[in-house]
Amino acid sequence: MAVKAASKTVKQGRETRPRVRFDPGRLPVLLFVVFLIYLLIVTGSQFGRLYALETSVRQAERELKEMQAQNAALWERVRLLQSDSYVESLAREKFGLVKPGEVPVVVTVAPRQEGQGRRHEGDQNRAGNTH
């Protein structure tokens, strides 16, 4: 009889695995595990979206601060350009304008000549430098 039992499990040179039967009592546990896996996938993707949104909000806040600083600087420039004294100083500096009765004075710097600023060889010898 032992030979017959062994021959039942071996069929044409191959072993057959015993079939696992599904136990209906395990159905709630299986459904709960599938539900947990689903929740992990959904919440994981939501956390990824949340992180991306927070990053873009931080970038937008940085840009907003930079633009507010730029805006404040531009408003300060507008305020300066609306003052008569600043406009007058710009006209005098950039365009060389003068008021009636004033004499414009232009100061120029003479260009340096090549030999200027260097000591001559004779001066070095007089300073006690002998070879």
**pLDDT score, position 108:** 87
Return d(Cα 105, Cα 125) in angstroms, integer. Answer: 44
Residues paired with residue 82 on neighbouring β-strands, in sequence order? none
Query: Given this model, what pLDDT does residue 54 score?
Result: 96
The 10s digit of each residue's pLDDT in 19-55 is 777 777 888 889 999 999 999 998 988 998 999 999 9
Q: What is the DSSP letter of 95?
A: H
Q: Do 117 and 123 meet the contact criterion of CB atoms below 8 Å apart?
A: no
- The tokens for 4 are 């017959």
Give the chain's mean pLDDT: 81
